[in-house]
Amino acid sequence: MAIPTLEQLEILAEQIYELYGQDFRNYNRSSMGRRVDVTMTQLRIDRFEQFLPRVMEDLEVFQALMRNLSINVTSMFRDPYVFRYLREKVVPVLETYPHIRIWSAGMSTGAEPWSLSILLREAGLQQRSLIYATDFNPVAVRQAQQGSFPLENMAEYTRNYIRSGGTTAFSRYYTATTHLGHLDPTLKENIVFSSHNLVTDSVFNEFHLILCRNVLIYFDDHLTNQVLQLFSESLAERGYLVLGTKENLRFHNAGRYFETLHDKYKLFRKL
């Protein structure tokens, strides 16, 4: 089974946009092609000519493709030294605001906003902060709201938490059942989970900190600039932006809206 051609992917993206309103027209074609190929393999469809009409006619096939196009790699306190830097350098600035607004954009199944809530609780800021946790995939949003993760992942999350500068035992934040670790539900008292599409939706609040990690690598240059413009318009004066460790602003026109505070940890500040 061959990965679809560039022309086939453009036809697919255009038809998805016209029928479903989901805009993948400026997604990185290499990444999109691999994910289409995975979907076709899962559904045992050998030829793109068979796959395209089924995406248009069968909602279950479309949803299967959406699951694969969603960015679902996530873990709590991922890249822990980024969280340590936030804890040590950014949180003291956030403390100066009477009310703190944070946006976790493209949060997948929610490990990041739950991690942020723990960080804010330990800084004594949970009660005066609000985290908007968004993803374009409503299935991911519903899963994120549950705050349940595979129990086998908790050892990794504990290591990340310790490296991030956590101040207590991570086990205090979850209870274990046979296969799942369930996070303390009081941690989501300051989290608003919602669907939001970075491609088609606009500014909806003003934030002091935005995290959008490992999302822009799936966009082409045009879409990346568009999303960076959205973040600039969504940030308060001198607000912070955190990107993924493989992402950068220096090659994008919209990078002129930001100054680099830490190149390794991809921390930027609105000019």
Are 130 and 234 contained in the same domain?
yes
Burial class (CB in 10 A: 0-12, 13-18, 19+), 57: exposed
Q: Are 55 and 139 contained in the same domain?
A: no
Predicted TM-score (pTM) of this structure: 0.85
Please count the other Cβ atoms lying within 10 Å of the Cβ belonging to residue 67. 16
Of 69, 95, 110, which residue is a domain's last?
Answer: 69
> Are 154 and 214 found together in one domain?
yes
Instruction: Examine the pLDDT at 2 and tell me if it is beyond 70.
Output: no
Establish if 94 belongs to a structural domain: yes
Q: Please check whether residue 210 is in contact with residue 102, taking contact to mean a CB–CB distance below 8 angstroms.
A: yes
pLDDT at 192: 97
Question: What pLDDT band is residue 255 in, cutting at 50, 70 and 90?
Answer: confident
Residues 113 and 150 in one domain: yes
Task: Give me the domain span that covers residue 202.
Answer: 80-270
In the chain, pLDDT over 90 holds for what percent of residues?
A: 68
CATH number, residue 213: 3.40.50.150
Q: Give the pLDDT confidence score for residue 72 in this predicted structure.
A: 64
Is residue 74, in this structure, part of any structural domain at all?
no
Among 69, 91, 121, the domain boundary falls at 69
The answer to whether residue 258 is domain-embedded is yes
Tell me, yes or no, whether 1 lies in a domain: no
Task: Write out pLDDT tens, residues 204-239.
Answer: 999 999 999 988 888 888 899 999 999 999 999 999
The confidence score (pLDDT) of residue 11 equals 92
Res 266: pLDDT: 94
Provide CB contacts within 8 A for 9, sequence distance 6+: 29, 32, 33, 36
Assign 1 a pLDDT band (cuts: 50, 70, 90): low
Same domain, 110 and 56: no
Model pLDDT, residue 69: 80
110 burial type by CB count under 10 A (0-12 exposed, 13-18 middle, 19+ buried): buried
Tens digit of pLDDT for each residue in 63-107?
888 878 876 667 999 999 999 999 999 999 999 999 999 999 999
- Indicate if 10 and 123 belong to the same structural domain: no
- The full DSSP string for the chain is -PPPPHHHHHHHHHHHHHHH----TTB-HHHHHHHHHHHHHHHT---HHHHHHHHHH-HHHHHHHHHHHS-----TTSSHHHHHHIIIIIHHHHTTSSSEEEEEET-TTSHHHHHHHHHHHHTT-GGGEEEEEEES-HHHHHHHHHTEEEGGGHHHHHHHHHHTT--S-GGGGEEE-SSEEEE-GGGGGGEEEEE--TTT----S-EEEEEE-S-GGGB-HHHHHHHHHHHHHHEEEEEEEEE-TT--STTSGGGGGEEEEETTTTEEEE-
Tokens of residue 196, six digits:
């939001």
Confidence of residue 29 (pLDDT cuts 50, 70, 90): confident
Do 214 and 92 sit in the same domain of this protein? yes
**Which are the contacts of 214, defined by CB distance < 8 A and separation ≥ 6?**
71, 73, 106, 244, 245, 246, 247
d(CA 187, CA 195): 20
| Same domain, residue pair 91 and 221 | yes
Residues 51 and 169 grouped into a single domain:
no
pLDDT digits (tens, 9 = 90+) for 156-184: 999 999 999 999 999 999 999 989 999 99
pLDDT at site 30: 85
From the list 68, 39, 66, the residue with the least C-alpha distance to 51 is 39
Q: Are residues 64 and 84 in the same domain?
A: no
Cα 106 from Cα 230, distance rounded (Å): 14
Half-sphere exposure of 4 (CA within 13 A, CB side): 28
What does the pLDDT read at residue 189? 96
Instruction: Give mean pLDDT, residues 100-125.
Output: 96
Q: Are residues 40 and 96 in the same domain?
A: no
N- to C-terminal Cα separation, the chain = 48
Total domain count for the chain?
2
In whole numbers, what is the pLDDT of the chain averaged over residues? 92
Residues 6+ apart with CB under 8 A from 54: 43, 45, 61
pLDDT at 4: 87
